[in-house]
Homo-oligomer: A and B are copies of this chain.
Amino acid sequence: MADSSKTARRNNTDPESTRREILQAALEVLAKDGPESLSVTEVARRAGVNRGTAYQHFPTREDLAHATATWVSERIYEEFYGDFEEVSERNKIYPADLALERLSDFAMNNPELSRAWLFDVMATQGAVTDPFWNRYVKELREFVQQGNGRKDIDIEVYAFITLASALLWPIWAGAHARDTRARNRMRQRFVDEMMRLVLFGALVPERHSALVERFREMPEPVEAE
């Protein structure tokens, strides 16, 4: 109650850190409500920063929105593929279960990034230019070419299925699982089921002989457009 230094409580030498704080806050509201309801006022409030400061860094609401989107894209790439070379080196080949595990871990530990990314996908209708997505497809393609995956896979679709469900799962599962233990169990359930699915499929072949017949002769898919 004593001091009241009236104005300018906080001064920062490092504008970059302020920028990051704003972007982080923007990410949070983006993850909460989607890109359309991202407001500068709200972001500034949440970042503990004056609204004017936010406008100094990002001239308009749109600028902030775009900057946040690319920031999300960069961060998700960095978080996921930042140490890829080392891990890959250590394991000679990046094993399938590890990839899936990493993906699930990432999604569980970064629900905000996942949500933001998904919102973006839903908004831009296909984030084909997204570096994360491109890298993910590329790695998968090499994995298959090296003989680890079935040749008749439609890589893009398969990549989409694994990525979309892995990123969306923690959001969905978040409802049931409050504490850490429950969340870990949910994560494990997903990894196990996904692993089981990519190893053995889901159907009992004898019961679907016609389908097995039809899909066994399927040619390798044509992806290019």
Give the CA-CA distance A115 to B124 in the complex, in Å: 13
Q: A197-B197, A203-B148 are in contact. Are A157 and B190 (CB under 8 A)?
A: yes
Give the CA-CA distance A34 to B199 in the complex, in Å: 36
Q: Which of A110-131 contact B (CB under 8 A)?
A: 115, 118-119, 121-122, 124-126, 128
Is A211 part of the contact surface with B, judged by Cβ < 8 Å? yes
A177-194 Cβ-contact flags toward B at 8 Å (1 or 0) = 000001000000110111
Q: Which of A127-170 contact B (CB under 8 A)?
A: 128, 147-150, 152-154, 156-158, 160-161, 164-165, 168-169
Give the CA-CA distance A150 to B157 in the complex, in Å: 23
Instruction: Say yes or no: A211 contacts B199, CB within 8 Å.
Output: yes
Residues of B within 8 A of A195 (CB): 211, 215
Q: A171-B122, A197-B161, A197-B197 are in contact. Are A150 and B96 (CB under 8 A)?
A: no
Is A33 part of the contact surface with B, judged by Cβ < 8 Å? yes
| Interface size class, chain A | 35 or more
Residues of B within 8 A of A158 (CB): 193, 197, 202
Give the CA-CA distance A186 to B55 in the complex, in Å: 42
Give the CA-CA distance A118 to B221 in the complex, in Å: 29
Is A176 part of the contact surface with B, judged by Cβ < 8 Å? yes
Q: A122-B115, A193-B153 are in contact. Are A128 and B176 (CB under 8 A)?
A: yes
Instruction: Say yes or no: B218 contacts A153, CB within 8 Å.
Output: no
Partner of A125, one of B164, B175, B194: B175
Give the CA-CA distance A115 to B121 in the complex, in Å: 11
Q: Taking beta carbons and an 8 Å cutoff, which residues of A are in contact with B? A: 32-34, 36-37, 95-97, 115, 118-119, 121-122, 124-126, 128, 147-150, 152-154, 156-158, 160-161, 164-165, 168-169, 171-176, 182, 189-190, 192-205, 207-208, 211-212, 215, 218, 221, 225
